[in-house]
A and B are shown apart, each in its own frame.
Chain A
Amino acid sequence: MLEGKQKEILDMLNEIRPEFDFVTSSNFIEDGLLDSFDIITLISMLEEKYQKKIDGMDTVPENFFSIEDIIRVVEKSEGRN
């Protein structure tokens, strides 16, 4: 059972791509669950939800393989001014 930020991010992923099962995927990119436009959509949702600015260099697909990866990106990001 996911809680807290994990659950919030899973909800976002399910909102972006409701047709996919993000819980059983071991790699969202390799499994074809997220494309570049989904990542952009997710970044805008993460920035809005957590009031962060995600660095452009952190928006590469390698940072979006799993929910844990996504949490790491959010946590290293600067707060919005």
Chain B
Amino acid sequence: MQTIFREKKISSILGILPETVGYFDDEVGNYSFPAKQTMRLKKVMGFEKHRLSKTGTTVFDFASYGLRYMFQKEWIDKREIGAILVVTLCPDYFVPHISTMLQGEFGLASDVLCLDIAQGCCGFLIGLMEAYLLLEHRKDKKIILVNGDVLSHKISKMDRNDFPLIGDAATITVIEQDAKAGDIYYEMHMDGSRGDALKIPAGAFRMPSTPETAKMIEQGDGNVRSLDHMHMDGSGVFSFVQTEVPPLLVHMLEETGESADSIDYFLFHQPNRFMLQKLAEKAKIPEEKLPMNLVETYGNPSGASIPLTAALNLREKLLADKYRCCFSAFGSGLAWGGMILDFGRLEYCEIIESNL
């Protein structure tokens, strides 16, 4: 899909973190690999620390914590909300949906559209796309976009390839009409034939969780996990990113008449430092334009990665001024896409820590 959205803007971003910090140095002993070998990855991948939610904490908990904060601080009035979009891989239940749970929790009007979308790494781009489309029909309202995941509960703590990089977090983004906003270029690609590269085999209808699926199994590569856990085919995902994303960036820049020079910031999904460095090298993007510090600061929070990276690195700038930005995300699906837009002069931008 390739299109242009008009007269839309992101007006506020709130990041919500759990308070618990897991340190890579402390977790090295959980893995079956020699410590020296594991520690080599620390600098290369950016493994330092990550945020971990408490057992039982859900995306609804993060979203309601954040929304309550936004209402209390008067970031937004409940009557301004036209829709709640929740993009997550971690539903509280199969039914009801997190978006309707939030509507009920805060007593929002019945004409507030509530929609949950199952998406991972590209969740922010997919959520923005839905918000822009909805605004065509609710021009006088604001859209609340929740991106959140608590994937640390679905990853084995004995899986060195997956656990150190993941982080739990949520973001809430407010999107609205703006007659003065510049065009927003959007492009999204999907390839379901490679979907097994990121997978949680058990736990839904195809393979319900059982004591059998919960058995921890040594995978032959030194990692230990069960069928209830998420697994990433590291080689497959890495090859996918390095082959699909550079041509995507070239195409986006060509279509918009932009260049690595004319874009102020490249705000990308944050899988790990190594992958982002290789992308920056390939696309000849100066590293100061492409923040790659989310994994070492909070961990990779899946769909919340782009807004959280923006709030972590550019908060003051985004509150003060507007910048030409290129967003790009890539991962589960497999999916990869991007957006080129003017981003900034936000009303609010903050990261808060919860007790979740």
Contacts and interface: CB of A to CB of B under 8 A. Distances in A.
Interface of A: 16-18, 32, 35-37, 39-41, 43-44, 53, 55-57, 59-61
Interface in B251-280: 274-275, 278-279
Contacts of A37: 41, 45, 160-161, 234
Interface of B: 34, 37, 40-41, 43-45, 160-161, 220-222, 233-235, 238-239, 241-243, 246, 274-275, 278-279, 281-282
Nearest to A38: B37
Nearest to A44: B44
A57 B44 contact: no
A41 to B, nearest CB: 5
Given A41-B40, A44-B40, A56-B281, 13 more contacts: A35-B221, A35-B222, A36-B238, A41-B37, A43-B274, A44-B274, A55-B282, A56-B275, A56-B278, A59-B239, A59-B278, A60-B239, A61-B239
Nearest to B238: A36
Contact of B220 (A32, A43, A61): A32
A8 B288 CA distance: 33
A59 B160 contact: no
B234 A56 contact: no
A16 B203 CA distance: 35
Q: Is the interface of A mostly helix, strand, loop or mixed?
A: helix
Given A35-B161, A37-B41, A57 B246 contact: yes
A59 B40 CA distance: 18
Contacts of B234: 35-37
A43 B41 CA distance: 11
A61 B279 contact: no
Most buried by A among B40, B41, B220, B222: B40
A41 B282 contact: no
A40 B279 contact: no
B234 to A, nearest CB: 3
Given A35-B161, A56-B279, A59-B238, A40 B274 contact: yes
